[in-house]
Amino acid sequence: MSLLRVPDRSRPRRLRLPAVLATGVLVAAGLAVDAGAAASGAPAGVESAGDRFTERPGRGAPYKNPRLSTERRVADLLSRMTLEEKVGQMAQAERADVSADPGQIADLFLGSVLSGGGSVPADNTPEGWADMVDAFQEQALSTRLGIPLLYGVDAVHGHANLNGATVFPHNIGLGATRDPRLVERIGAITAEETRASGPQWNFSPCLCVARDDRWGRTYESFGESPVLAARMGTIIDGLQGSRRGDLDDPEHVLATAKHFAGDGLTTFGTGEGDYTIDQGITEASRRDFARLALSPYVPAIKHHDVGSVMPSFSSVDWTDDGLGNPLKMHAHDELINGWLKDKMDFDGFVISDWRAIHQIPGDYATQVAVSVNAGVDMFMEPFSGDTVGYPQFIETLVQLVEDGTVPEERIDDAVSRILTAKFELGLFEDPFTDRRHIDEIGSPEHRRVAREAVAKSQVLLRNEDRTLPLSSSDDVYVAGSNADNIGNQAGGWTLTWQGGSTNVIPGDTVLDAIEDAAHGDVTFSADASAPVPAGAHGVVVVGETPYAEGFGDVGGPRWGWDPGDGGVLRPEKTMLLSEADTAAVETVCAAAASCTVLVVSGRPMIIPPELLEQTDALVASWLPGSEGGGVADVLFGKRPFTGRLPVTWPRSVEQEPINIGDADYDPLYPYGWGLRTGHRGHHR
């Protein structure tokens, strides 16, 4: 028999229900207002929202009246819903699960659908996305109450699932810019491109603080400092607008602060079932946890008013209580209900991560009950090859409410939060995709901002004899595995979940950009097998191949394994340069007039002393995305180097974890290091 961990309800709790509902007072009937025609982007043959509301009973219901407050509209709608309709709002399916039978959306009263990484419509164009989302929306609107659907997507560095979207540097590169205003602009462009193609909800930003670069999600972090992560929370304002009241603007989306909390602090060797870092255990005192894990969420909630929060797969083990009893974040009543909702007064909703509740001990009913009672409001429950998914979640939760295991007031609280977001997004008035900005997706203007971000993210680590900037009149010899590979340059979460070396997106590789910027001769040889012309300056672009999440972890049985390669060991994922890249650096540095090495990677790479000695200039280029031109801009002096390290650059993998403030701190390059172009040895 499984034991349910029922939260302590003896302490006073503030339930997030509108006062008019909580006191049992009926909401007065509002003015009968037609919802109006759907957005101009509604697909051919689709009825407008106004037509549907006219046909269904209760056209004059208060919840359909946009002149009333959101609180009154939520209270009215909730009072009309059955238990099955409420629980359906708490369930989220994956696009692939409902594509074959979209009628499930209506039959199960589903509240949300998402696209996982790489889950795209057959027509992976802006129009194809918008048509897909609108077709799903049509099913949601066909239900008795016509509650619109909320569609979510991981637009973590631009809407990169969509082929043709602007692909920005990953967060680690944005952290290197130290430019919160630029990051806010990036959020605004991401939101505009995402919503113009259908989705109204972005599972971003990641506010994790990466304290161990062996973690496969390091590049999703803005850096190792919680202060830096908090500063970059301005991306929320770009995504949502300066306040949540801007959400109904077709240029904004609902943002998600993730992964709450401590996913960047997990201890190497404490993963469950293996020795991975991702989804492991955060072992920390309460004080350290508050400083390193919780602090970035304070401004995200209090200042930026983020609309949703996603818990982490990881567990938390308080080291100062001596109990040694790790608890999964999705079951953590003290942190979700207690800290997030009560102490921080978070009034958005909590969305689970991908099937994350299945990692909670116990049978499925136990997993659902524990997580709902801990404060999770919506559940990402795709089938993912299993027989248990969103239909079973709905059936299970209804039964748990009926037998008293989950209080119906907890259901009302969760659904009120979800409905509030839908009203704030304006989905009841304009449920279909507003396509007015669809032609701006991937526009030259947007790509110019991405190029600026790339240039500002470049960190000049070494610049002997003022090697950089190069003269545009120089002859240049380009080598290395990442010089002409836009898939490697973009990294994970690009077209597919893991990304891929063979993935191609619109944009410029580093080689393309060098060829555009240089007026002298440019020779390219990926493996440096072609002779280096006399007097040519060498640029060797090395680094990693793409990965995402645990598949990028360094250590344990999953060390360097790539599902896209059928389980082939990939030593380049160990923070070490591949033999081919090392050989290319040695060859070019021995023959070229000067030797510049660019490291295209999601985290620091280990540069052996003997290799560093051969290198005149060393640049951390991170994962720049689609705009290689930003790399060439600083390489040739069109823009100055201004980037600063967002993480400590270690001398060896054995130094990990290494972070600013550690005892015996002796990195190759410290946190915050970055040279200005032409100023040898100047520490900024």
| Residues with a known catalytic role | 353, 549
Cα(467)–Cα(368) distance, rounded to whole angstroms?
59
Cα(666)–Cα(660) distance, rounded to whole angstroms?
10
Q: H or E element: which one contains 203?
A: none
Assign residue 499 a region (left: φ > 0; alpha: ψ between -120 and 50; beta: otherwise).
left
Residue 108's closest CA among 131, 142, 132?
142
Q: Which residue has the tokens 């909670």?
A: 360
- Token code pair at residue 367: 């997993």
Assign residue 279 a region (left: φ > 0; alpha: ψ between -120 and 50; beta: otherwise).
left
Cα(606)–Cα(59) distance, rounded to whole angstroms?
65
Contact 600, 541 (CB under 8 A): yes
The distance of Cα 672 from the centroid of its chain, to the nearest Å, equals: 24
List, as one string, the DSSP characters of 44-102. Answer: TTPPPHHHHHHHSS-TT-GGG-TTS-HHHHHHHHHHH--HHHHHHHTEEEEHHHHHS-T
Three-class SS state of 30 = coil
DSSP 378: B
Per residue, the 3-state secondary structure of 504-551, as one string, reads CCCCECHHHHHHHHCCCCEEECCCCCCCCCCCCEEEEEEECCCCCHHH
DSSP 625: T
Q: How are strands ordered across the β-sheet holding 150-153? A: 201-202, 150-153, 112-115, 91-94, 379-380
Cα(346)–Cα(322) distance, rounded to whole angstroms?
30
Q: What share of the chain is helix, strand, coil (3-state, %, to 5)?
A: 35, 10, 50
Q: Which residues pair with 158 in a beta bridge?
A: 156
Contact 652, 609 (CB under 8 A): no
Burial tier of 259 (Cβ tally within 10 Å: 0-12, 13-18, 19+)? buried
Cα(279)–Cα(261) distance, rounded to whole angstroms?
11
List, as one string, the DSSP characters of 126-147. Answer: HHHHHHHHHHHHHHHHTSSS-P
Residue 521's closest CA among 483, 485, 482, 472?
472
- Token code pair at residue 232: 């970059």
Q: How are strands ordered across the β-sheet holding 537-543? A: 459-463, 617-620, 595-600, 537-543, 476-479, 522-524
Cα(604)–Cα(656) distance, rounded to whole angstroms?
11
Helix axes 444-457, 180-196, angle to 10 degrees: 150
Cα(164)–Cα(543) distance, rounded to whole angstroms?
25
Q: H or E element: which one contains 666?
A: none
